[in-house]
Amino acid sequence: MLSSLHTYRTANGSAVFAPFPMPENPVLSEILAKLPTAPDGFYRSVEFVQPIPDAVLREAQTLFDTNRAPVEDCYLVDTRERDVRVYADGLRGLIYGAYALVQDAEDAEDGQSVRRGLLWDLPRCPFRGLKVYMPAPDDLESFTRTVDLLLSLRYNTIILEVGGAMEYKSHPEINAAWIDYCREMARYPDRANEIQNKTYPWDKNSIHFENGGGRWLTQDTVRGLVEYCRDRGMEVIPECPTLSHADYLLMPHPELAERSDDAWPDVYCPSNPDTYRLVFDVLEEVVDVFRPKIMHIGHDEYYSIGICPRCRGKDAAELYAGDLTKIHDWLAERGIRTMFWAEKVLDAIGLNGEHFGGSEARVRHPDGTVEIVRPATWRAIDLIPRDVIAHHWYWSIAEYFDDEFNKRGITLWYGNFAPVNFLDWNRRLAQGAGGGSPSHWSSLEDATLQRNGVFLSLFFGVRMFWDETWDDARFPEYLDAVFEEMFTSCNRKTLAGPHFDIEHTATIERRYQYLSSVPMQVERDTVGRYEVEYEDGEVLSIPLVYGLNITGKSRVWERHYQGELYDNPGLAERDTWSFDSKLAEVSYTTLPIRHGGDTWYRIAVPNPHPEKRVAAVRVVKTCADEGDILLGSFAVM
Ligand SMILES: [Zn+2]
In tens, the pLDDT along 44-62 reads: 999 999 999 999 999 999 9
Largest distance between two CA atoms of the chain: 89
pLDDT at 568 over 70: no
61-83: per-residue pLDDT in tens?
999 999 999 999 999 999 999 99
> What spacing in Å lies between the alpha carbon of 355 and ligand 1's midpoint?
24
Task: Determine the pLDDT at residue 238.
Answer: 98
| DSSP assignments along 324-374, one per residue | HHHHHHHHHHTT-EEEEE-GGGSEEE-TTS-EEETS-EEEE-TTS-EEEEE
> What spacing in Å lies between the alpha carbon of 314 and ligand 1's midpoint?
9
Task: Determine the pLDDT at residue 224.
Answer: 98
pLDDT at 565 over 80: no
* Residue 39 maps to a domain: yes
> What spacing in Å lies between the alpha carbon of 393 and ligand 1's midpoint?
27
- Domain that residue 550 falls in: 482-636
Residue 570: pLDDT band with limits 50, 70, 90: low
434-458: per-residue pLDDT in tens?
999 999 999 998 999 999 999 999 9
Same domain, 113 and 132: no
> What spacing in Å lies between the alpha carbon of 173 and ligand 1's midpoint?
22
* Residue 476 maps to a domain: no
Q: How far apart are CA 24 and CA 26, in angstroms?
A: 6
* Residue 608 maps to a domain: yes
Query: Residue 130, SS3?
Result: strand
Residue 515: pLDDT band with limits 50, 70, 90: confident
> What spacing in Å lies between the alpha carbon of 412 and ligand 1's midpoint?
30
Contact present, 25 and 48 (Cβ < 8 Å): yes
Same domain, 16 and 161: no
> What spacing in Å lies between the alpha carbon of 256 and ligand 1's midpoint?
8
Same domain, 511 and 580: yes
576-596: per-residue pLDDT in tens?
999 999 999 999 999 999 999
> What spacing in Å lies between the alpha carbon of 77 and ligand 1's midpoint?
57
Q: How far apart are CA 610 and CA 421, in angstroms?
A: 42
In this prediction, residues 560-568 reach a mean pLDDT of 79
Same domain, 206 and 223: yes
> What spacing in Å lies between the alpha carbon of 297 and ligand 1's midpoint?
19
> What spacing in Å lies between the alpha carbon of 197 and ligand 1's midpoint?
23
Number of structural domains the chain divides into: 3
Same domain, 73 and 162: no
Same domain, 493 and 463: no
Rounded percentage of the chain residues whose pLDDT exceeds 90 = 94
Q: How far out from the chain centre does Cα 148 lie?
A: 13
pLDDT at 571 over 90: no
For residues 395-417, b (16+ Cβ closer than 10 Å) or e, as one string? bbbbbebbebbbeeebbbbbbbb
Q: Where are the alpha helices (DSSP H) in 231-315?
A: 247-250, 273-290
> What spacing in Å lies between the alpha carbon of 383 and ligand 1's midpoint?
19
pLDDT at 569 over 70: no
**Residue 243 backbone class (left: φ over 0; alpha: ψ -120 to 50; beta: rest):** left
**Long-range contacts: 621-625, Cβ < 8 Å, 24+?**
621/527, 621/528, 622/526, 622/527, 622/528, 622/529, 623/508, 623/526, 623/527, 623/528, 623/546, 625/508, 625/510, 625/527
> What spacing in Å lies between the alpha carbon of 273 and ligand 1's midpoint?
10
> What spacing in Å lies between the alpha carbon of 322 and ligand 1's midpoint?
12
Q: How far apart are CA 34 and CA 41, in angstroms?
A: 15
Q: How far apart are CA 139 and CA 160, in angstroms?
A: 15
> What spacing in Å lies between the alpha carbon of 258 and ligand 1's midpoint?
5
- Cis ω before 39 (30° cut-off from 0): no
> What spacing in Å lies between the alpha carbon of 448 and ligand 1's midpoint?
37
Name the least confident of 165-169, 404-408, 558-562.
558-562
Same domain, 222 and 164: yes
Rounded percentage of the chain residues whose pLDDT exceeds 70 = 99
Same domain, 589 and 521: yes
pLDDT at 231 over 90: yes
> What spacing in Å lies between the alpha carbon of 310 and ligand 1's midpoint?
5
Same domain, 519 and 555: yes
Q: Which residues contact 327 (CB under 8 A, 6 or more apart)?
A: 242, 279, 283, 297, 338
Domain boundary among 66, 96, 121: 121
3-state secondary structure 541-589: EEEEEECCCECECCCCCCCCEHHHCCCCCCCCCCCCECCCHHHHHHECC
CATH code, 12? 3.30.379.10
Q: How far apart are CA 98 and CA 108, in angstroms?
A: 16
In this prediction, residues 506-535 reach a mean pLDDT of 92
Same domain, 230 and 323: yes
Task: Determine the pLDDT at residue 129.
Answer: 98
Task: Determine the pLDDT at residue 563.
Answer: 84
Query: Residue 81, SS3?
Result: coil
Q: Where are the alpha helices (DSSP H) in 212-266?
A: 219-230, 247-250
> What spacing in Å lies between the alpha carbon of 246 and ligand 1's midpoint?
14
Task: Determine the pLDDT at residue 516.
Answer: 82
Same domain, 92 and 181: no
pLDDT at 520 over 90: no
3-state secondary structure 371-386: EEEECCCHHHHHCCCC
Q: Which residues contact 596 (CB under 8 A, 6 or more apart)?
A: none
331-365: per-residue pLDDT in tens?
999 999 999 999 999 999 988 888 999 999 999 99
Could you give the angle at the alpha carbon of 388 between the alpha carbons of 382 and 389, nearest 5°? 115
> What spacing in Å lies between the alpha carbon of 312 and ligand 1's midpoint?
7
> What spacing in Å lies between the alpha carbon of 15 and ligand 1's midpoint?
68
pLDDT at 206 over 80: yes
Query: Residue 74, SS3?
Result: coil
CATH code, 341? 3.20.20.80
Q: Which residues contact 293 (CB under 8 A, 6 or more apart)?
A: 235, 335, 336, 337
Domain boundary among 470, 496, 526: 470
Domain boundary among 409, 442, 470: 470
* Residue 426 maps to a domain: yes
pTM: 0.96
Bridge-based pairing of strands 14-15 and 8-9 is unpaired
> What spacing in Å lies between the alpha carbon of 316 and ligand 1's midpoint?
11
What's the mean per-residue pLDDT of the chain? 96
pLDDT at 214 over 80: yes
Q: Which residues contact 426 (CB under 8 A, 6 or more apart)?
A: 470, 471, 472
Same domain, 114 and 180: no
